Amino acid sequence: MKAVFFSILTIAAFSLSFKIDSGNITEKFKVYGNCGMCKERIEKALMVKGVKYAYWDKTTEMATVKFNPEVVTLDQLHKNVAAVGHDTDKVKADDKVYENLHSCCQYERPKKG
């Protein structure tokens, strides 16, 4: 009897967690940066309403974001990162914002064209 109860409880818990997470998607995109300060700044810019998880990998320069696209769009996430001085593969940061980054955070900017 206990085995049946625990099986039902496990299935119910799994179903509930799936329903809670069902509106979220995970996307990865390039964000240019160099150091731990960049990581903090980038992840903070990504952690807005609708974002469940944001991680930036310094080695690969890839951001992984789990979010609800009905609350925040991928384009907005790119713009948020650019607003704090980091170019993405879609949005270039304003030159003045980039120039105000700490010297160790001034990454080599991608060349267009």
In a domain, 113, yes or no: no
User: Which CATH number is 80's domain given?
Assistant: 3.30.70.100
In a domain, 73, yes or no: yes
DSSP code of residue 21: H
Q: Which domain holds residue 64?
A: 24-105
In a domain, 37, yes or no: yes
CA–CA distance from 105 to each of 1, 60, 65, 86, 100 (Å)? 60, 15, 21, 9, 9
Please tell me the total count of domains within the chain. Answer: 1
Residue 25 in tokens: 């998607």
Instruction: For 30-65, give the DSSP string.
Output: EB---SHHHHHHHHHHH--TTEEEEEEETTTTEEEE
Tracing tokens 């967690």 back to the chain, one arrives at 17
Mean pLDDT by 10 residues, the chain (113 residues): 52 47 90 97 98 97 97 98 98 97 94 65
Residue 73 in tokens: 């769009």
In a domain, 34, yes or no: yes
| Model pLDDT, residue 15 | 46
In a domain, 9, yes or no: no
* Stated pTM of the model: 0.79
* Residue 51, SS3 per DSSP: strand
In a domain, 18, yes or no: no
| Model pLDDT, residue 29 | 98
| Model pLDDT, residue 110 | 84
